[in-house]
Every structure is written in structure tokens, then in C-alpha cells.
Amino acid sequence: MTLVCLFLPFIAAVAAPPLTRALGAKAAWLLALAPAFSFFYFAGYLPEIAAGEVVTGGYAWVPSLNLSFSWFLDGLSLTFALLITGIGTLIVLYSGGYMKGHPQQGRFFAFILLFMGAMLGVVVSDSFLMLFVYWELTSITSFLLIGFDHTREAARRAALQALVVTGGGGLCLLAGLIFIWNITGVTQLSLVVHQGELMRQSPFYLAALLLVLGGCFTKSAQFPFHFWLPNAMEAPTPVSAYLHSATMVKAGVYLLMRLNPTLGGTPAWEILLPFFGGVTLIVGTFLGLRQTDLKLMLAYTTMASLGLLVMLTGFDSEHAISAAVLYLVAHSLFKGALFMVAGLIDHEAGTRDVTKLSGLAKAMPITFAAAILAALSMGGLPLFFGFLAKEEIYYALAGGDLRSILFTSVAVIGNGLMFALAFAVALKPFLGKKVETPKHAHEGPVLLWLGPLVLAVLGLLGGVFSTVAHRFISSPMASAVEGAATQVTISTIPHWGAPLALSLVTVAFGLLVYLQLSRVRAMMVRLLDALGPGPDRGFDAAIAGLVRLSVTVTRFVQPGRLEVYVTATFILLALTLLVPPFVYGELPALPSFPTDVMVQEWAFFAIALIGLVAVLRASNRLTAIVSLGIQGFAVAVIFLLFGAPDLSFTQFMVETLSVVILALAMTRLRLMPSDHRPFRQILGDAVIAISCGVGFMLLLMKSVEGVFDTRLTDFFNAYSKVIAHGANVVNVIIVDFRGTDTLGEIAVVMVTGLAILALIRVRVGAIKPADNDPDAPDPTPAPAGTVAMSEGARP
Amino acid sequence: MNTLIFRTVAPFLTALMIVFSVFVLLRGHNEPGGGFIGGLIAASAFAIYGIAYGVMAVRRALWFHPMSIAGFGLLLSTLSGFLSIFAGVPFMTGLWIYPHFFGVEIALSSVMSFDIGVYLVVVGAITSIALALEEKESD
């Protein structure tokens, strides 16, 4: 059943395009049932998880490699799963309204649901490989969604950038997970949490940590990898609300929390995480202040919030973990709501520029209400869930030593600025005098305001009924992150103390910035312009450099002359064959001359030799090709005489087809019928050819010199009939014992065929757009160098 | 190559070779033969027909684009591997059934459909290369 719930989004994704074609935007109600069902199913586990149990399940996948498809639900996974499916349900509904009438709405639903399935997979994965596959799948679906509006260049660039950064980080993560696997010997997250001691004492700890951080920091947009996140705002707003604030960017934080019991508690962990998190928090809020676009303001505060989460996770104290947990949940709720509000304003008023929006409160009362509720939570005011998070943050950070003071001030500044930005988004467009907007603004349809309102109200309910929220969500999740049972007790009624004082300072600072927002913004613009271009430009420069490098390398290794390729290949082959035997003294002994050669064997040796001489003496290329065939047939007969009918059979066919295809290729190449190489070149080519031949001869002589190991032969002879029901051992090996190899090989045959077909159609100098009709005749002959190789050859 | 004798013999030769290729394919599990060899024989048969009658004739006779045949073969082979899911055994495990047709026991297996897939891939890929190369010559 859990499996069904995990795959439900994928199933819905497949169903989305036809449903949308049939029902239009109303398909959203139907499609939202899939995540809603999963949500309620997962919610059913709440009491069990709150009681401290974990839910596991799965199937063996590749038992021989100890890989499994297995899931694992504890407080952390369950909270994430609920956020993903719950917010996902609202986002699907919201997309129904937001993308209404878009010609590709079905595709959009499909991508969103695909992402949902992938993200759900990330947070419930128990096995490393499954985690990695889902992790990369979220990167790919994010790429598809950011580039959804693929006719705009900015969207394409942002999509590619996100894919390069997060996909590259994913590879780091894979390497890191393999390190952990090698150090601890387990491949399951549920087991690896108990291996913390082993992990921390390993000499490879730092390497593993850095690689994992590489994956997490890119995914969660930590400085200096943050630049992809604001660019990703090119995506339609439901995507920004869902992927780039509520769920996907939290995957990095999720993994850090998950690995906290394994990797945490070391100086490296407690320095790197708070440092990068703190820098991200400050940089994010500063960059956010200069923006006037609602979505970009929110994007930078998201980045800042992620920084705050990473910072708290790295503190490794019980209160810091509780604070991170509370803030993560609060952030998903209020930021998702605010993004949807921004999209609503954009959708109804036609602009997202905060300086051009004012006085919408009367026109859009429900939106305004949702925005205010979300902003109050984001600002961390009493009664709201955000307040709990903020109190707990200060509770965790406040202290007398230098480190505490430093990070407390970072948190106060960050939170204060986020407070200002929250109200800039939630109040500025609604209050004040009504101004003309590009579209006549009015309240959106229920599909659009339902999502933000529900999320914003949840933020309030979570705060008011904090004991319930703690019991089912916060405490189990904090326990999972901490690796030991933890109780979150913070309540929404303010108690006098250092945290409350810090909260007051934050609010006062935030209010001050909010009131002076336009002046602060101008200041920020000046400051950031003075600092010069950021890593975003660096990314462009790096990509451009990579392209230049690859052009140079390609020019060097591919000069475009077939002769050069062939000569280089064979020289390398000759060296590979000849150098090692001489260097290692592994030359074969001269074999004794066989005495029992039969007369027919002699005859075929002679024919082979005649063929060879004919090739060398042929005055014209066609004759040479056919003579090569003679030689090949003679070899095939020799195989037959020595009892290898399958091999000989194949050799016959390969020879026939090689002659046919080579002859055809030669006629197309429009070479001169005869060979006009100067003598010097002939000499050089002859040396290369003879070296290759001698090299192969030495290799074969050496390999038959030793005693023949019959273990494999015996095995196949013994079991071919018994297990695989076939008497022809060769065929049984091909299709049964080594069937997977054959599957790979025929795929190669197919791809090679396609590549050759493409080469034959290529015209030098003129690359035209792909012709979708494979049978359309090509109007001009192709002079490109094509050498068709027979692909069926296999012993 | 367009002699009268060749043109007269080519259709029969092609038909014979194709029948032979199927024979070689099907007996492959117990006697010399199999998908690879059978595919090569069939590909040569089409090449011969193409040399005698031109590429268009072969394309018409094949009905499908040779690359589609290869693609179908690859799909068939892959699906044969996945059949083992239903039996709850690892990927690519051979499955056998022995139905009786008119009192004769016939061994059918996922291995056999896999081999047929191999045959189709080889036929399709090689034929499409050969035909593409021949094309410019004949017209």
C-alpha cells in the first residue's frame, strides 16, 4: 500500500495529459486526488510514528549487490512526506487555476506530479542508490519545470543552470554516499545512523563529508552555489512555490538532518555548516532587499531561510535541532503561501513589480488575508508557528561566548531583514492608494486562493495548537534528526527571557527596515554594484570556457581526415600489443612446428595466403576488397575444421556482409579506383600493419601457451542442458547465461546502426534540421567519410 | 551485376536464405545457429535482393523501415528479460513452457523470444546500413 502511495504521483502524471485534454483546467480537482490520497495515507501513520516507531518496507532489487528498493518512515521522513503530498495537493489545484487555458497545461501537470513522485522518493528512501536516483530525478524534473516556457531564452538558461549545478552536486553526493558505504559497509540510511562512531573515526571522514556537503549545498542553494535559485524563478509560479521554496530545495537540508547522527558532532561539521549557512542567510537577505520583483524577493528570502536551516543543523545542540525542525515546517507553510500569493497578484494584476502595485486590498480581500497570515508567521509574531520557530532559534543560539554572540547577531540581522521583506511582499501591494495595473485586478477563482489560504491558516493553527503539532510533527522529527528521543516544548505564549528580548529586537529592526525600504533598497543596489558581478556571471564564464576548451580539444583530436583517424588507431593498437610484452619480458616461446597437419588444412592455409597476396597485389580497390573476402572465408573454413561451427558460421556471414558493405562504402566515397600513395607512405603504412599483425600473433601465442583453464568450459558443458535446456553451448551462453550482456550488445548494434545511418546522410558543410521522415530521399550524395563496419561479429 | 541470370535467381535465393535464416534462428538453441547468425543471413538475403532489384523494391517488400524492425527487436528482447518479473525471479531468467499442438510438444521460452529479438536487431540494423549505402548507387 505504501508502494502504491509512493507511485501514485507517477501514475497521475501519466494520466494528466489525456485528462487535461478531456476536462481542461477542471482536471486539477481529479488529479489532486492522487496526492491527497497519499497525504491521508501517510497521515494515518502519525500516531504510530509519534509513539517512536518506524515504518519500513521494501523489495530486494539487486540482491547480489545488496541493493534494495526499500523505504523507511520516521518522524523526519513522515513530516517531509506530509509536506510534499499536502502542499502538492494544493499546488496541483493552484496550477489548475494558474495555468488555465495554457495549451500545455497537461504537460505541466505531468511534470509537477513527476516531481512530486521523485521528491517523495527522496525523503522515504532507505537505500543509498534509491535516494540518489530519486535525488537526480528531482533535478531533472526541476529542469523540465524551470524550462517549461521553453521559447524564452532566460528560461532555458535558468533550467540548464539549475540542472548543471544540482546535477553536478548530485554526482558529488553519489561519491560521498559511496564513501560512507565503503567506510560503514551498509547501504541503508536506517542502518547508517548507528555507525556514527565508525564514520567519525575514519580517515576518509572529511572527504565523505565534503562530498555530501557538495550535494546538499548545491541542492539547497547555499552560498556560493545559490545563484541558480533566483534564476529558477523563470519557472511558472506554482513551480517556484512548490519546488523552489517548499520542497526540492529542502532536499539538501533533509539529507543533512538525516545524516546528522552519522556525520555530525565533529569540528568540521560544526564549523562548515554554520559558516556557510550564516553567510547564505546574510547574503540572501541582502540580495533580496535590492529586488522589486515579488518572486525574486521571496526567492532570496528562501535562500536565506535555507541558510538559517543549514546553520541550525550544524549547531548540533538539542535546541538548535528543534529550532531547525520548527522553522523548516513553518517555512514550507508560509513561503509556499506567499509564493502563491505573488503568483495570484501577477495573474490578476498583470505585474509582480512591487513598486507598481498598491491598494489591491479591496479588490482581492481573500488574497490579502492569506498574505497577511503568512507574513505574520514569516515575521515570527506570537500565535503563529513562525513565532515558535524563532523563539526556539534564539533559545538555541543565545549564550555568552563569542561564537554564540556572533551567530545570534547573524540570526537577528537575517530574521529582521526577512521580517521586512515578508511585509514588503504581503502589505505593499495591498495597502495605500489604488494604482492602475496592467490588468484590471479582481479576486482570483477558488482554485487560486484555496492553496495560499489553507497554508496560511495552517501556520496559525500550528501555532495555536502547538502541543498537538509538537506531539505529532516536531518531536518525532527532532528525535529522528537528533538520533535520540527529543521533546519539543516551546509554546506560543511568550515568556520573558533572552529569546523574547531578541525577538523584540528583531521585530524592531525589521520594522525600521520596512519603513525605510526604498532607501535601504537604493543603498543595497549601490553596495552590490560596487561589489561587482557575482557567481552567476562566473557560471556563464565557466560554461563559455568549457565550450571553448571542448572546441579546441575536438579540433585537435578530430581533424576530419579518415586517414589520420585510422593511422592513429592502428599505431596505438600496435603499441598496446607490442610494448607490454617487451617491457615485462612476457614474450611467448617459439612454438614447435606441428607434425600432424592434415592436407586439407594445408590447402586452406594456402588459400588464405593467396587471398592475402591478392590483396597486396590488387591494382584496384574493388579487387582488393573481394580478395580480402577470400582470405576471410579461408579462415572461416579453418574454424570449421577445428570444431567451431558457430564461430565459422558467423565468420562466413560477417565476411560476406563486410565485402558487400565495404564495396558499397567504397563506391560512395568516390575514391580513385586504384591506390596512388607515394612509396614513403606505403612503407609507413606497411610497418604499422605488420606491427599490428605481429602484435596480435604474439598475444594469441602467449594466451594459448599456458595450461587451458577448463573451469568455465566444464561449467557450461555441465549446466547448459540441465539448467538452460539447450544443447548448443555457444547459443545458450549468448541468450541465457550471459543474456544481459547480449542485451547490451544488441543495443550497441542498434545505436551503431543509427549512427551510421546518420553519417551516411550527413552533408559536409550544410547541417540542416533533422528530417523526420527516414525514407525521404537525400537530394545530394554524401561525400562524408563513412566506413561501415560489420557489427554482427562475435565469437 | 544486373545480369539476367542474377535477376532471375535473386528472388528465389532471397526467399531460400530467409527461410534458412529462420531455420537457423529456431534451431539455434540445440544446434549451431542462433539469432546473430540468422540475422546476418537474412541481412545478406536483403542485400542480394537490393543489388538485383534496387533499394526501393527491398523497402517495399520489407514494409517497415529496417530501423523500426531493429527497434522492435530490441524492445522484444528487453521485454523477454522483464517477463521474469511475473515469475518472481531475477531479471533475464529463462522461462520455459511446453504446450502441446496437435499432439506435438513444443518448447517455448523467454529465451527464444529474446533470441528472436536479437535476430530482428541484427537484420534491421545491418539491412538499414546496407540499404542506405546502396541507395545512392541504384538511383
- Give the integer Cα–Cα distance in Å for A269 and A320: 14
Residues of chain A found within 8 Å of residue B59, distances taken between Cβ atoms: 775
Helices (H), A532-560: 535-557
pLDDT tens digits, residue range A314-334?
887 888 888 888 889 888 888
Q: B35: which chain A residues are within 8 Å (Cβ-Cβ)? A: 734-735
Q: Given this model, what pLDDT does residue B2 score?
A: 67
Cβ-defined contact of A660 to B44 (cutoff 8 Å): yes
pLDDT digits (tens, 9 = 90+) for A111-145: 999 999 999 999 998 888 889 999 999 999 999 99
Q: What percent of chain B has pLDDT over 90?
A: 32
Query: pLDDT by residue (tens digit) across A540-552?
Result: 888 889 999 999 9
DSSP calls for A607-618:
HHHHHHHHHHH-
The Cα–Cα gap between A552 and A682 comes to 31
Find the mean pLDDT for residues A69-84: 88
Is residue B121 within 8 Å of residue A749, measured between CB atoms?
Answer: yes
- The model's confidence at residue A461, banded by pLDDT at 50, 70 and 90, is confident
Q: How confident is the model at residue A194 (pLDDT cuts 50, 70, 90)?
A: confident
- In this predicted structure, the answer to whether residue A783 has a pLDDT above a threshold of 50 is no
Chain A interface includes B107 (CB < 8 A): yes
A207 vs A438, higher pLDDT: A207
Domain range summary for chain A, segments of one domain joined by +: 1-264, 281-515, 521-558, 559-724
Higher pLDDT, A672 or A713: A713
pLDDT tens readout for residues A387-402: 888 888 888 887 778 8
User: CB distance A753–B92 less than 8 Å?
Assistant: no
Residues 58-77 of B with CB under 8 A from A: 59, 65, 67, 70-71, 73-74, 77
What is the arithmetic mean of pLDDT over B1-24? 88
pLDDT at res. B29: 79
Count residue pairs from A and B with Cβ separation < 8 A: 162
Mean pLDDT of all residues in A220-248: 86
Q: How far is A750 from chain B (nearest CA, A)?
A: 6
Contacts with B, A 706-735, CB within 8 Å: 724-728, 730-732, 734-735
Dihedral class, residue A431 (left if φ above 0, else alpha if ψ from -120 to 50, else beta) = beta
Strand partners of residue B101: B104
Is residue A726 scored above 90 in pLDDT?
no
Q: What is the pLDDT of residue A795?
A: 37
Q: Per residue, what are the HEC states of A660-723?
A: HHHHHHHHHHCCCCCCCCCHHHHHHHHHHHHHHHHHHHHHHHHHHHCCCCCHHHHHHHHHHHHH
If you average pLDDT over residues B47-64, what whole number do you get? Answer: 88
Q: What is the pLDDT of residues A398-417, one digit of tens each?
A: 777 888 888 888 888 888 88
Q: Among A136, A343, A161, A338, which residue's Cα sits nearest to residue A248?
A: A136
Q: Is the dihedral of CA A667, A672, A675, A679 positive or negative?
A: negative
CB A384 within 8 A of CB A460: yes
Which of the 8 DSSP states describes residue A774? T
pLDDT at A763: 58
Q: What is the pLDDT of residues A263-283, one digit of tens each?
A: 888 888 888 898 999 999 988
Chain B CB contacts of A752 under 8 Å are: 125
Greatest mean pLDDT range, A747-751, A764-768, B131-135? A747-751
Residues of B in contact with A728 (CB under 8 A): 28-34
Residues A177-190: pLDDT tens digits?
999 988 888 888 88
- Helix A385-397 vs helix A498-515: crossing angle, to nearest 10: 120
pLDDT of residue A89: 92
Max avg pLDDT among A61-70, A98-107, B61-70, B106-115: B61-70
Asked if A724 and B111 come within 8 Å (Cβ–Cβ), the reply is yes
The structure's pTM equals 0.71
Give the Cα separation of A625 and A138 in Å (integer).
53
Chain A neighbors of B74, CB-CB under 8 A: 746-747, 750
Q: Please write the tens of the pLDDT for every residue from A442-453.
A: 777 888 888 888
State the pLDDT confidence band at A775, using cuts at 50, 70 and 90. very low
Band (pLDDT 50/70/90 cuts) for residue A694 is very high
Does A739 contact chain B (CB < 8 Å)?
yes
**HSE-CB of A623 using CA atoms within 13 angstroms:** 11
pLDDT at residue A293 in the model: 86
Band of residue A776 on the pLDDT scale cut at 50, 70, 90: very low
Instruction: Say if the Cβ atoms of A660 and B31 lie within 8 Å.
Output: no
Q: How many percent of chain B have pLDDT more than 70?
A: 96
CATH number, domain A559-724: 1.20.120
- Does the structure show a pLDDT above 50 at A779? no
A644 to chain B: nearest residue by CA? B32
The mean pLDDT value for A350-365 works out to 81
Mean pLDDT of chain B: 85
3-state SS class at A282: helix
- Output the average pLDDT for chain A: 84
What part of B 30-59 touches A (C-beta under 8 Å)?
30-37, 39-41, 43-44, 47, 51, 59
| A119 vs B33: CA distance, rounded Å | 49
Nearest C-alpha of chain B: how many angstroms from A180?
Answer: 28
Q: Is the CB of residue B92 less than 8 Å away from at least one CB of chain A?
A: yes
Note whether A791 contacts B132, CB cutoff 8 Å: no
Residue A564 has pLDDT above 50, yes or no: yes
- Whether pLDDT at A786 is above 60: no
pLDDT at position A225, please? 85
